Amino acid sequence: MTNEIINNLLNLPKSMAERALWARNAFIENSQESQVDDNCLIWCFNQADNLWYSIAGNYSQYSPVQKRIKESEKQIEYENRLKTAYEIANDYYQQILYQSEIRRKVIERDEDVCQKCKKHSDTKFHVHHIHKRIAGGTDHLDNLILLCPSCHKKADTSEYNPLWKK
């Protein structure tokens, strides 16, 4: 071995130096069984302990090929999650557009007037489901009315009255 290689090995902790020497010898004896990782580091498999050793003294239970496969799987999983996140965001955006359009139609139909107390638009009105969605009510215009915040609070609690329907 050259002096540079020996000096490099001497700078490693003893266990790493031993692994590096083993991997270097294994590579010299049978280079066909070795693999090279993405950093151009040579790895050799030790059947005695089922580990891969690099010529730099590192070890792993996975070969460079197995690591690439795992990274590829992680990338695919990440892309799938990203796609799912995009789809969720897009669905949410579409829902906001849908609700905004319904809100606009209800405000227009009810002429900016609370359908309970008849207050005119001096506040932000709420769109109220006459038959609650949880009870099977829909977003159809005939199930929606415009209420001021005060009347909406009452409508959601004690004064709920399906007869408010227009």
Q: What is the pLDDT along the chain (166 residues), one digit of tens a residue?
A: 556 666 677 778 888 889 999 999 999 998 898 999 998 999 999 999 999 999 999 999 999 999 999 999 999 998 888 888 888 888 888 888 888 899 899 989 998 899 988 888 666 889 998 888 888 888 888 889 999 988 888 887 765 555 554 4
Question: Can you give the three-state secondary structure of 74-110, one letter per residue?
Answer: HHHHHHHHHHHHHHHHHHHHHHHHHHHHHHHHHHHHC
Take residue 118 and report the two structure tokens written for it: 């008849």
Indicate whether this model's pTM tops 0.75: no
Where does residue 129 fall: left (phi above 0), alpha (psi -120 to 50 degrees), or beta otherwise? beta
- Kindly state the DSSP code that residue 129 receives in the 8-state scheme: E
The number of C-alpha atoms within 13 Å of 9 and in the hemisphere containing its C-beta is: 17
